[in-house]
Structure 1
Amino acid sequence: MREGNVRFVCVSTPHVPSLPHRARRLAVTLAGASVPPASAASRGLDCHGTIPSSPPRTRSLSLNPATPSIISARPWSVPLPLPVAAREAGPDATPGFRPLPGPPGLNICTSGSATSCEECLLIHPKCAWCSKEDFGSLRSVTSRCDLKANLVRNGCGGEFESPVSSTQVLRSLPLSSKGSSPAGSDVIQMTPQEVTVNLRPGDKTTFQLQVRQVEDYPVDLYYLMDLSLSMKDDLDNIRSLGTKLAEEMRKLTSNFRLGFGSFVDKNISPFSYTAPRYQTNPCIGYKLFPNCVPSFGFRHLLPLTDRVDSFNEEVRKQRVSRNRDAPEGGFDAVLQAAVCKEKIGWRKDALHLLVFTTDDVPHIALDGKLGGLVQPHDGQCHLNEANEYTASNQMDYPSLALLGEKLAENNINLIFAVTKNHYMLYKNFTALIPGTTVEILHGDSKNIIQLIINAYNSIRSKVELSVWDQPEDINLFFTATCQDGVSYPGQRKCEGLKIGDTASFEVSVEARSCPGRRAQPVFTLRPVGFRDSLEVGVAYHCGCSCSTGLEPDSARCSGNGTYVCGLCECNPSYLGTRCECQEGESQSGHQNLCREAEGKPLCSGRGQCSCNQCACFESEFGKIYGPFCECDNFSCARNKGVLCSGHGDCHCGECKCHAGYIGDNCNCSTDISTCQARDGQICSDRGHCVCGQCQCTEPGAFGETCEKCPTCLDACSTKRDCVECLLLHSGSSVDNQTCQNLCKDEVITRVDTIAKDDQEAVLCFYKTAKDCVMMFTYAELPSGKSNLTVLREPECGTAPNAMTILLAVVGSIILIGLALLAIWKLLVTIHDRREFAKFQSERSRARYEMASNPLYRKPISTHTVDFTFNKFNKSYNGTVD
Structure 2
Amino acid sequence: MDLSLSMKDDLLNIRNLGTRLAVEMRKLTSNFRLGFGTFVDKNISPFSYTAPKYQINPCTGYKYFPVCVSSFGFRHLLSLTDQVNNFNAEVQKQRVSRNRDAPEGVFDAILQAAVCAERIGWRKEASHLLVITTDDVPHLALDGRLAGLVQPHDGQCHLSDVNEYSASDKLNFTALIPGTTAEILDQDSQNVMQLIVNAYNNIRSKVELMVLDSPEDLSLSFSATCQDGLSQPGVKKCGDLKIGDTVSFDVSVEARSCHPAGTNQTFTIKPVGFRDTLEVTVTYNCSCGCSEQIETASSRCNSNGTYTCGICDCDPGFLGARCECGEEESSGDVSQNTCREAEGRTVCNGRGRCLCGVCVCYESEFGIISGSYCQCDDFSCARYKGVLCSGHGVCDCGECKCHAGYIGENCNCTTETSSCLSDDGHMCSGKGNCVCGKCQCIEPGAFGETCEKCPTCPDACGTKRDCIECRLYQTGRLADNQTCHRLCKDDIITVEELNTDNPDTAVCIYKTENDCVMRFTYSEEESGRSILRVLKDPECGKAPDAVTVLLAVVGSILLIGLILLAVWKLLVTIHDRREFSRFQNERSRARYEMATNPLYRQPISTHNVDEVYSMLSKPYNGAT
Pairs within 5 Å for 1:97-116: none
Q: Which has the higher contact order (CA 8 A, sep 6+)?
A: 1
Are positions 1:408 and 2:155 aligned together? no
After superposition, give the CA deviation of every residue in 1:25-64 in whole Å (9 maximum; x if it has no partner). Answer: xxxxxxxxxxxxxxxxxxxxxxxxxxxxxxxxxxxxxxxx
What amino acid maps onto 2:58 in structure 1?
A: P
| CA gap 1:654/1:327 in 2 versus in 1, 3 angstroms | same
User: In the alignment, what sits opposite 2:119?
Assistant: 343
Alpha-carbon distance between aligned partners in 1 of 2:514 and 2:65, rounded to the nearest angstrom: 53
- How many Å apart are 1:772 and its aligned residue? 3.9
CA RMSD of aligned residues (A): 4.1
Structure 1 residues 240 and 688, CA gap change in structure 2 (3 angstroms): closer
* 1:505 and 2:248 correspond: yes
2:339 aligned partner: 594
Which residue of structure 1 aligns with residue 198 of structure 2?
454
Deviation at 1:804, TM superposition (A): 4.2
How high is the TM-score relative to the length of structure 2? 0.69
Q: How does 1:193-212 map to 2 (within 5 A)?
A: none
Identify if the C-alpha distance between structure 1 residues 438 and 641 changes in structure 2 by more than 3 Å, giving closer, same or farther: closer
Partner of 2:134: 359
* 503, 506, 509: which one aligns with 1:766: 509
Contact 1:351 1:530 in 2 (8 A): no
**Alignment partner of 1:302 is 2:47:** no
Output the CA distance in 2 between the equivalents of 1:582 and 1:454: 79
SS at match of 2:295: coil
Q: Secondary structure at the match of 1:343?
A: helix
Deviation, 1:526, is 0.6
Larger Rg: 2
* Cα distance in structure 2, aligned partners of 1:448 and 1:533: 32
- What are the Cα deviations for residues 419-453 of structure 1, in whole angstroms up to 9, with x where unaligned? 26254333333333222233443333344344433
Q: Distance in 2 between matches of 1:609 and 1:258?
A: 79
For 1:531, the equivalent position in structure 2 comes to 275
- Within 2, Cα distance between the matches of 1:332 and 1:538? 38
Matched ranges for 1:161-560 at <5 A: 225-346=1-122, 348=124, 350-366=125-141, 398-399=142-143, 401-419=144-162, 421=164, 422-483=166-227, 485-499=229-243, 501-511=244-254, 513-518=256-261, 519-560=263-304
* Cα offsets for 1:202-230 (capped at 9, x unmatched): xxxxxxxxxxxxxxxxxxxxxxx101001
Q: CA deviation at 1:318?
A: 2.0
What SS class does the counterpart of residue 9 from structure 2 fall into?
helix
Q: Report how far residue 297 of structure 1 moved.
A: 0.8
C-alpha displacement of 1:456: 2.5
Is the CA contact (8 Å cut-off) linking 1:465 and 1:526 kept in structure 2?
yes
Once the two structures are TM-superposed, the CA of residue 535 in structure 1 deviates from its matched residue by 1.2
Which residue of structure 1 lines up, in the alignment, with residue 461 of structure 2?
A: 716
Please tell me whether the aligned partners of residues 42 and 72 of structure 2 are also in contact (alpha carbons under 8 angstroms). Answer: yes
Give deviations 1:498-542, integer Å, cap 9, x for gaps. 34x253313131415333545322221111111111112223453
1:742 aligns with none
CA distance in 1: counterparts of 2:193 and 2:380, whole angstroms: 66
Q: CA deviation at 1:710?
A: 5.0
Change over 3 Å in CA distance of 1:308–1:357 after alignment to 2: same
Q: Is the 8 A contact 1:765 1:774 kept in 2?
A: no
What letter is aligned with 1:428?
N
Per-residue CA deviation, residues 446-466 of structure 1 (Å, 9 max, x unaligned), is: 443444333323322222221
- Using the TM superposition, give the Cα deviation of residue 591 of structure 1 relative to its aligned residue in structure 2, in angstroms: 3.2
Alignment correspondent of 1:860: none
Write the distance in 2 (CA, Å) between the matches of 1:752 and 1:267.
Answer: 44
Q: Give secondary structure in 1 for the equivalent of 2:156.
A: strand
- Report the CA distance shift for 1:543/1:450 in structure 2 as closer, same or farther (over 3 A): same
Structure-to-structure mapping, 1:695-710, within 5 angstroms: 695-701=440-446, 709-710=454-455
* Structure 1 residue 287: Cα displacement: 0.9
Does the 8 Å CA contact 2:317/2:327 hold for their aligned counterparts?
yes
The structure-2 alpha-carbon separation of the partners of 1:765 and 1:804, relative to structure 1 and needing over 3 Å to count, comes to: farther
Task: Map 1:678-827 to 2 at 5 A.
Answer: 684-690=429-435, 695-701=440-446, 709-716=454-461, 758-761=484-487, 766-767=509-510, 772-773=515-516, 797-798=541-542, 800-801=544-545, 804=548
AA partner of residue 261 (structure 1): G
In structure 1, give the amino acid aligned to 2:209: L
Equivalent residues of 2:222, 2:234 under 8 A apart: yes
Separation in 2, partners of 1:557, 1:575: 10
Seen in structure 2, the aligned counterparts of structure 1 residues 689 and 612 have a Cα distance that, compared at 3 Å, is same
- 701 and 313 in structure 1: CA distance in 2 versus 1, 3 angstrom threshold: closer
- Per-residue CA deviation, residues 260-290 of structure 1 (Å, 9 max, x unaligned), is 1110011122211122322221111111211
Give the match for residue 603 of structure 2: none
The answer to whether structure 1 residue 616 and structure 2 residue 357 are counterparts is no
Following superposition, the deviation at residue 359 of structure 1 comes to 2.0
Cα displacement (A) at 1:678? 5.5
Q: Distance in 2 between matches of 1:648 and 1:628?
A: 24
Tell me the SS of whatever aligns to 2:33.
Answer: strand
Q: Shift of the alpha carbon at 1:408?
A: 0.9
Question: Against the structure 1 CA distance between its residues 771 and 230, is the aligned structure 2 distance closer, same or farther, given a 3 Å change threshold?
Answer: closer
Farther-moved stretch of structure 1 (704-713 vs 535-544): 704-713
Residue 548 of structure 1: CA displacement? Answer: 1.8
Shift of 1:546: 1.7
Equivalent-residue separation in structure 2 for 1:259 and 1:268 (angstroms): 27
Amino acid of the residue matched to residue 216 of structure 2?
A: E
What CA deviation, in whole Å up to 9, does each residue of 1:712-752 have, x standing for no partner? Answer: 434225899x9xxxxxxxxxxxxxxxxxxxxxxxxxx9779
Secondary structure of 2:128 counterpart: strand
- Return the letter of the residue paired with 2:340: R
SS at match of 2:246: strand
Cα distance in structure 1, aligned partners of 2:386 and 2:454:
37
Q: Which amino acid aligns with 1:530?
A: F
Cα distance, 1:795–1:279 mapped onto 2, change above 3 Å: same
SS of 1:521's equivalent in the other structure is strand
| 1:279 alignment partner, SS class | helix
Cα distance change, pair 577–755 in 1 and its aligned pair in 2 (3 A): closer
Q: Which runs of 5+ in 2 are unaligned?
A: 467-474, 493-506, 521-537, 552-624
Taking structure 1 as reference, are residues 319 and 613 closer, same or farther at Cα in structure 2, changes over 3 Å only? same
**What is the CA-CA distance between 1:805 and the residue it aligns to?**
10
Contact 1:355 1:414 in 2 (8 A): yes
CA shift in 2, pair 1:684/1:771, >3 Å: same
